[in-house]
């Protein structure tokens, strides 16, 4: 068995497999398991083999780019609209750490602008960095920071804003910011566009460049938001696995549906607002018919000069309805002092609270626990575990029983994440919970979501 190379070296290795001998070129990573070798290939994918499978290897010259270096940002065209890029991190702002081969969120905003000179043909861009983190680390107080940064951009004369954000919780942040700018009958002064990428910029299959180009294009030239179609904050990502077409989604009606695909973001119970095609001649934007109709019928909303904010100290517990949900779980979490309980119900929004055969006492205990929550004026919100389709507690007797108990959520046609963000926002504004949750404040329950 040959001695294995240290992590961080670029090598060419001959490796035995079950059927043949293969040759790999790439960067040696810390091993995925003891007595293994892991290599990041030049196409961005990783491979691992047992140490005894390595026949031979040779070290190659590293392709690590030099540290530092001058940026070559193109000159601005003063005739173009101003767009501010707000940088939070995520895969769209990630690159390989050549010491370990791991992908880390560490691009600076200036590097992103320098790397894509075509952006200078769309808008006059400036960048503000408020973080360099993966999106699973983002908390409600970060929403307040982003909302304030957007308001500052509009106050500075920007036509639109693009927020570069990790994809894992991008749809949660987009929901939260929609309520911050449009929940009280207002709208954002211009388009706020959230964008990410499923694959980092070091990979040949990266979607970062096209997503960012389309996002800046929508921020610079897209229609001003109407506010009640979920369009104050949009999400721009690949429409399909192929290059060239990006979907513009309502930030209140989109969800990450796949962990790795470039078209991971899909509309829930509806369609995108528009599609942006990148062609050799520029951009071709098509509004979907429902959005065109919504724009024609929209009333005039005033501009939100200052976004509403979220109370970061509020806590919410989430549960999934099914055979593993028990009363003691609810009660244990409620005793920690949460401000709300969200349960992802089955089917049309049902919970295991009946014991028709007298052989499931756990169900009766769960009914009692939830009744106690309601009696304590602790909101219990039912969202849809199915993702697509409404929560309709009028169809079955079970649902009618839940309504009589005081459980909330009947009529919800929005995503679970949008409704959870809405509950947090409603409580932060000291609004009437039942009335606010059942009302269509800014497009979370629009009629097209039922189609």
**Same domain for 322 and 285?**
no
The number of domains in the chain is: 3
Is 420 domain-assigned?
no
Chosen domain end from 228, 262, 297: 297
To the nearest 10°, report the CA torsion of 111, 117, 122, 124.
Answer: 50
Q: Please, which pLDDT band fits residue 267 given cuts at 50, 70 and 90?
A: very high
In a domain, 384, yes or no: yes
Query: Of residues 88, 91, 169, 415, which has the active-site annotation?
Result: 91
pLDDT digits (tens, 9 = 90+) for 190-236: 999 999 988 765 555 678 889 999 999 999 999 999 999 999 999 99
Choose between 200 and 15: higher pLDDT.
15
Judge if 271 and 331 occupy the same domain. no
Q: Does residue 283 lie in a domain region?
A: yes
Residue from 168, 207, 231, 263 carrying the catalytic annotation: 168
Question: Is it the case that residue 354 has pLDDT exceeding 60?
Answer: yes
Which helix (H) or strand (E) is 283 found in, with range?
strand 282-287
Is 241 in the same domain as 320? no
Which pLDDT value is given to residue 131? Answer: 85
Write the pLDDT tens digit of every residue in 104-150: 555 565 666 666 778 889 999 888 889 888 899 999 999 999 999 99
Domain annotation covers residue 450: no
Q: Which residues contact 192 (CB under 8 A, 6 or more apart)?
A: 150, 160, 161, 163, 177, 181, 219, 225, 232, 233, 234
Tokens of 190: 């211009």
pLDDT, mean over the chain: 89
Same domain, 30 and 158: no
User: Has 168 been annotated as catalytic?
Assistant: yes
Q: What is the pLDDT of residues 179-198, one digit of tens each?
A: 999 999 999 999 999 999 88
Q: Mark whether 281 is an active-site residue.
A: no
Residues 150 and 202 in one domain: yes
CATH for 189: 3.40.50.1170
CATH code of residue 352: 3.40.50.40
pLDDT at 326 over 60: yes
Same-domain status, 161 and 290: yes
Active site residue 173: no
Q: Tell me whether residue 256 is one of the annotated catalytic residues.
A: yes
In a domain, 250, yes or no: yes
Place of tokens 């388009």: 191
Asked whether residue 214 falls in the same domain as residue 360, the answer is: no
| Same domain for 276 and 355 | no
Per the structure, the complete domain to which residue 51 belongs is given by: 10-59
- CB of 127 closer than 8 Å to CB of 85: yes
Q: What are phi and psi of 143, to 5 degrees?
A: -60, -45
Residue 84 CB contacts under 8 Å (≥ 6 apart), including other chains: 125, 126, 127, 128, 149, 153, 156, 158, 160, 161, 162
427 assigned to some structural domain: no
Residue 1: per-residue pLDDT:
74
Q: Which of 88, 167, 221, 420 is catalytic?
A: 167
21 and 87 fall within a common domain: no
- Is position 428 within any domain? no
- Answer yes or no: do 287 and 323 share one domain: no
Instruction: Let me know if residue 3 belongs to a domain.
Output: no
Give yes or no for residue 21 having a pLDDT over 60: yes
Exactly one of 169, 186, 209, 256 is catalytic; name it.
Answer: 256
Rounded Cα distance, 233 and 253, in Å = 11
């Amino acid at each position: 068995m040959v001695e294995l190379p240290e992590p961080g070296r670029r090598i060419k290795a001959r490796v035995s497999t079950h059927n043949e001998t293969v040759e790999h070129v790439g960067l040696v990573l810390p091993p995925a398991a003891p007595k293994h070798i892991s290599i990041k290939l030049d196409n961005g994918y990783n491979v691992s083999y047992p140490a005894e499978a390595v026949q031979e290897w040779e070290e190659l010259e590293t392709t690590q780019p030099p540290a530092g270096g001058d940026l070559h940002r193109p000159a601005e065209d003063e005739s173009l609209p101003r767009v501010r890029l707000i940088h939070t991190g995520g895969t769209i702002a990630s690159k390989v750490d050549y010491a370990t081969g791991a992908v880390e969120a560490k691009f600076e905003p200036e590097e992103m602008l320098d790397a894509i000179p075509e952006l200078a043909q769309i808008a006059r861009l400036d960048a503000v960095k408020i973080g360099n983190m993966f999106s699973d680390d983002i908390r409600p107080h970060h929403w307040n920071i982003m909302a304030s940064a957007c308001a500052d951009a509009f106050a500075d004369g920007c036509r639109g804003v693009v927020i570069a954000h990790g994809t894992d919780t991008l749809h949660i942040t987009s929901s939260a910011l929609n309520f911050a700018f449009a929940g009280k009958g207002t709208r954002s002064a211009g388009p706020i566009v959230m964008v990410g990428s499923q694959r980092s910029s070091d990979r040949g299959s990266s979607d970062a460049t096209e997503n960012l180009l389309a996002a800046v294009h929508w921020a610079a030239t897209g229609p001003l938001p109407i506010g009640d179609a979920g369009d104050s904050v949009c999400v721009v990502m690949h429409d399909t696995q192929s290059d060239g077409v990006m979907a513009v989604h309502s930030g209140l009606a989109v969800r990450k549906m796949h962990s790795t695909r470039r078209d991971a973001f899909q509309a829930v119970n509806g369609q995108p607002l528009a599609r942006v095609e990148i062609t050799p001649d520029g951009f071709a934007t098509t509004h979907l018919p429902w959005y065109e109709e919504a724009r024609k019928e929209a009333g005039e909303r005033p501009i939100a000069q200052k976004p509403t904010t979220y109370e970061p100290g509020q806590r919410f517990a989430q549960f999934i309805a099914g055979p593993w949900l028990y009363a003691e779980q609810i009660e244990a979490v409620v005793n920690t002092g949460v401000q709300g309980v969200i349960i992802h119900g089955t089917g049309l929004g049902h919970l295991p609270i009946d014991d028709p055969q007298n052989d499931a006492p756990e169900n009766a205990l769960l009914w009692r626990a939830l009744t106690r929550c309601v009696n304590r004026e602790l909101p219990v919100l039912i969202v849809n575990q199915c993702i697509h389709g409404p929560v309709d507690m009028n169809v079955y007797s079970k649902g009618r029983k839940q309504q009589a108990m005081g459980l909330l959520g009947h009529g919800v046609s929005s995503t679970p994440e949008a409704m959870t963000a809405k509950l947090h926002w409603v409580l932060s504004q000291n609004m009437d919970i039942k009335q606010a949750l059942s009302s269509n404040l800014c497009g979370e329950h629009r009629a097209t979501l039922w189609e």
